[in-house]
């Protein structure tokens, strides 16, 4: 589970339900002041700050995307190709170490001042050196101004993922002159967060009208935005639990509901639109390779028995509409994802044969997972119960060990789980984020898989990490996953569905794995 996902795991469980209220239509209520179109969005908050250098929670990235612009972005839902934003062009050197960006002319901040190369250098250096949650995105990257319209980002080693990292809203460019006046510094002494929680310090299509981390965020259109004006003059984002989200959007108290499960979107009225797509979260099983943790799960034939024994179609049925099977650890939206026809299939007889070949008779193993966590509206409990029943048919007894998120996370992070059921959401939409599953890396170590444990897979990972160019990278990461599936301790299961419900008046909605929805691209009819 990624950095962002870990935070979500802890916070989503305590999401605050608010009483329904909202515009119910396209005209702003008189109580909210003035005319113009208002959009009300209900979501389950995972929100700490509006400071782009400190935010890395899903709701925070969603809000930041509307307020700040980044050097690069993605077109619609496509995360396989970064495109220009504040930069009009970019070029990666042949050795993959230097990214050169030419800045767009005419971009302005909300106060009308121009976006400069100095703003870019300060903003990115601040994120890196302030040591906030997103600092890791620019670890080892030096940011420099070449001239008034050119900046370079230089990495010590080949970094072909950098163009895919730069669209993250945490790397939004701030008005450095304004921010410095309110305590912004490019180090850990920075004191600008409180100011940025209410400031118009970005160049995006919206600014902050009000900001409350537990209840509601209100955005208003940036009157001095230099680009295409957004369709809505005001956007109200409310913290609402899923059941209430459903009621609100059905009765017109909101126009968008972001967090409904497959079951909750079944049978929606004809006047509502339901966007059903697979999320970029991958739910997987891990089999611990540390013989101090288990004498059973390090056995390769035992892992094969589990892989062949799982009923993937049954898990998909549980997950509901929009879900898809995960052929590998890299989700379907990203460069390097395996094609659907390479997904594992259930083979009960093959599983029994593998178990017999393992030499482990009538094994009993503990399966740990977070009890109260839901991912895209899907609880881990029914998945665990289905896996338990599947493996019973093979001859494996699974002892379910649900635990509160904090307890389960501790065991998972410290590599103490015999079998674990978890998920990983992308820190950034690049396949290099999934090298964490290799021996000696973050998730590999959580499965007791130490460096040197699988030299062929590790060599494939090193090749993928330094591959340059889309075609070479796509092939290299597919190779890593094919090898992982054949002999690794991870069993990719499903990508649960992301179900977003909107009023008929809302157009242009696309699910995005980093910022969920780009508010400024939503239309109104």
Domain spans, the chain: 1-66+204-278+498-525, 69-189, 282-495
Backbone φ/ψ region at 441: left (φ over 0), alpha (ψ -120 to 50), beta: beta
Q: Is the pLDDT of residue 297 over 90?
A: yes
Contact 513, 333 (CB under 8 A): yes
Distance of CA 262 to the CA centre of its chain: 19
Mean pLDDT of 342-354: 98
Q: Is the dihedral of CA 503, 67, 171, 130 positive or negative?
A: negative
Listed range (201-210, 259-268, 482-491) with the worst mean pLDDT: 259-268
Does the pTM of the predicted model rise above 0.85?
A: yes
- What's the CATH number for 1-66+204-278+498-525? 3.40.190.10
Half-sphere exposure of 492 (CA within 13 A, CB side): 31
Produce one character per residue of 382-400: b if its CB has 16 or more CB atoms within 10 Å, e if not.
Answer: ebbebbeebbeebbbebeb
Query: For residue 364, what pLDDT band results from cuts at 50, 70 and 90?
Result: very high
If we measure between CA atoms, which residue out of 262, 304, 284, 233 comes closest to residue 436? 284
Q: What is the pLDDT of residue 406?
A: 86
Q: What is the pLDDT of residue 373?
A: 80
Contact 63, 196 (CB under 8 A): no
Query: For residue 46, what pLDDT band results from cuts at 50, 70 and 90?
Result: confident
Mean pLDDT of 38-65: 93
How many percent of the chain have pLDDT more than 90? 85
Q: Is the pLDDT of residue 60 over 90?
A: yes
Contact 476, 336 (CB under 8 A): yes
Per residue in 95-124, pLDDT tens? 999 999 999 999 999 999 999 999 999 999
Q: What is the pLDDT of residue 129?
A: 97
Q: Which two tokens stand for residue 184?
A: 């912004």
Place of tokens 């029914």: 382
Contact 4, 55 (CB under 8 A): no
Q: Is the pLDDT of residue 7 over 90?
A: no
Q: What is the pLDDT of residue 485?
A: 97
Query: For residue 17, what pLDDT band results from cuts at 50, 70 and 90?
Result: very low
Question: 388-392 long-range CB contacts below 8 Å, 24 or more apart?
Answer: 390/309, 390/310, 390/311, 390/314, 390/346, 391/306, 391/309, 391/310
Contact 370, 408 (CB under 8 A): yes
Q: What is the pLDDT of residue 259?
A: 87
Query: For residue 482, what pLDDT band results from cuts at 50, 70 and 90?
Result: very high
If we measure between CA atoms, which residue out of 71, 295, 298 comes closest to residue 203? 71
Mean pLDDT of 234-255: 95
Contact 306, 285 (CB under 8 A): yes
Per residue in 123-145, pLDDT tens? 999 999 999 999 999 999 999 99
Listed range (30-34, 336-340, 370-374) with the worst mean pLDDT: 30-34
Same fold across 69-189 and 282-495: no
Q: Which two tokens stand for residue 107?
A: 């971009």
User: How far is the C-alpha of 31 from the C-alpha of 17, rounded, in Å?
Assistant: 22
User: How far is the C-alpha of 289 from the C-alpha of 29, rounded, in Å?
Assistant: 59
What is the overall mean pLDDT for the chain? Answer: 92
By DSSP bridging, strand 150-155 and strand 141-147 are antiparallel
Q: In whole angstroms, how far apart are CA 150 and each of 83, 103, 146, 165, 362?
A: 17, 6, 5, 19, 65
Contact 181, 111 (CB under 8 A): no
Q: What is the pLDDT of residue 1?
A: 46
| CATH assignment of 282-495, among 1.20.120.420, 3.40.50.2300, 3.30.930.10, 3.10.105.10 | 3.10.105.10
Q: What is the pLDDT of residue 14?
A: 35
Residue-wise DSSP of 470-513: HHHHHHHHHHHHHHHHHHSSEEEEEE-EEEEEEETTEE----BT
| CATH assignment of 69-189, among 3.40.50.200, 3.30.1600.10, 3.90.76.10, 3.10.130.10 | 3.90.76.10
């Amino acid at each position: 589970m990624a950095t962002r996902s870990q935070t979500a795991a802890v916070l989503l469980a305590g999401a605050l339900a608010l009483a329904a209220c909202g515009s119910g239509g396209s005209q702003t209520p008189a109580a909210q002041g003035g005319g113009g179109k208002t959009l009300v969005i209900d979501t389950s908050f995972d929100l700490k700050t509006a400071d782009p250098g400190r935010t890395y929670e899903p709701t925070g990235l969603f809000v930041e995307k509307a307020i700040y612009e980044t050097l690069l972005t993605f077109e619609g839902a496509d995360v396989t190709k970064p495109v220009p934003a504040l930069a009009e062009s970019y070029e990666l050197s042949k050795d993959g170490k230097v990214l050169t960006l030419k800045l767009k002319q005419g971009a302005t901040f909300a106060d009308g001042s121009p976006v400069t190369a100095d703003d870019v250098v300060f903003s990115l250096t601040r994120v890196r050196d302030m040591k906030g949650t997103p600092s890791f995105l620019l670890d080892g990257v030096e940011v420099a101004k070449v001239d008034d319209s050119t900046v370079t980002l230089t990495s010590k080693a080949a970094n072909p993922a950098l163009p895919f990292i730069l669209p993250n809203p945490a790397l939004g460019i701030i008005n450095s002159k304004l921010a410095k006046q309110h305590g912004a510094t490019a180090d850990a002494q920075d004191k600008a967060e409180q100011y940025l929680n209410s400031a118009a310090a970005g160049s995006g299509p919206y600014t902050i009208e009000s900001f409350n981390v537990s209840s509601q965020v209100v955005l208003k259109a940036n009157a001095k935005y230099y680009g295409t004006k957004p369709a809505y003059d005001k956007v109200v984002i409310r913290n609402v639990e899923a059941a209430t989200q459903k009621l609100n959007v059905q009765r017109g108290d909101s126009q968008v509901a972001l967090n409904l499960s497959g079951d909750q979107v079944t049978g929606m009225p004809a006047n509502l639109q339901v966007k059903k797509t697979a999320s970029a979260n991958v739910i997987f099983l891990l089999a611990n390779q540390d013989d101090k943790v288990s004498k059973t799960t390090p056995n390769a034939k035992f892992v094969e028995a589990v892989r062949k024994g799982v009923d993937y179609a049954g898990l998909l049925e549980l997950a509901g509409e929009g879900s898809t099977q995960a052929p590998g650890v890299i989700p379907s939206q990203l460069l390097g994802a395996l094609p659907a026809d390479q997904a594992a299939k259930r083979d009960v007889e093959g599983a029994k044969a593998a178990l017999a070949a393992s030499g482990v008779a009538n094994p009993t193993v503990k399966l740990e997972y977070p009890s109260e966590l839901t991912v895209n509206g899907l609880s881990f409990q029914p998945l665990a119960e289905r896996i338990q029943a599947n493996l019973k048919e093979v001859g494996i007894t699974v002892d379910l060990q649900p635990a509160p998120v904090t307890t389960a996370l501790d065991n998972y992070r410290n590599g103490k789980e015999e079998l674990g059921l978890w998920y990983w959401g992308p820190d950034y939409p690049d396949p290099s984020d999934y090298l964490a599953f290799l021996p000696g890396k973050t998730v590999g170590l959580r499965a007791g898989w130490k460096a040197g444990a699988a030299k062929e897979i590790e060599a494939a990972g090193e090749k993928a990490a330094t591959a340059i160019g889309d075609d070479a990278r796509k092939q290299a990461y597919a190779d890593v996953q094919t090898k992982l599936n054949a002999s690794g301790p991870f069993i990719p299961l499903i990508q649960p569905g992301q179900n977003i419900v909107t009023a008929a008046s809302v157009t242009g909605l696309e699910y995005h794995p980093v910022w969920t929805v780009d508010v400024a691209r939503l239309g109104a009819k």
